[in-house]
Amino acid sequence: MAEPTFRDFAAAIMKGDVDGAGAVLQPLLGLGASDARAAAQHFHAQSAAAGPAFMAKAMGLRTAIASGSDAEIGALLRDCFGLADAPLATATATLRGRPS
């Protein structure tokens, strides 16, 4: 099976499959199952409320990973996925270790 991507996550969100989206986030962000599901739920709720503008903001994560600071990555993870504290630190470190 291929390594999951943020495209897989977005596809699950667009289908309304929050559980599937959470499962995709686990390896992408290095989170446990409950934190990943909560992050997917947060993302889904924000996406439904804000529409296309939110998805555009979320897509900024790729740029932040490639050229931004940990603070920029953290701000996007907080806003888009509702992460804080240890899960936020884990996700930031996981993304920093992943090729962009």
Q: How many domains does the chain fold into? A: 1
Q: Tell me the pTM.
A: 0.90
Q: Residue 100 falls within a domain, yes or no?
A: no
The two three-digit tokens of residue 19, written as one number: 């559980």
43-76 pLDDT per residue, tens: 999 999 998 899 899 999 999 999 889 999 999 9
The two three-digit tokens of residue 62, written as one number: 């790729």
Q: Residue 38 falls within a domain, yes or no?
A: yes
Q: Residue 72 falls within a domain, yes or no?
A: yes
Range of the domain at 19: 6-94
- Please say whether the beta carbons of 37 and 22 come within 8 A: yes
2-55 pLDDT per residue, tens: 789 999 999 999 999 999 999 999 999 999 999 999 999 999 999 999 988 998
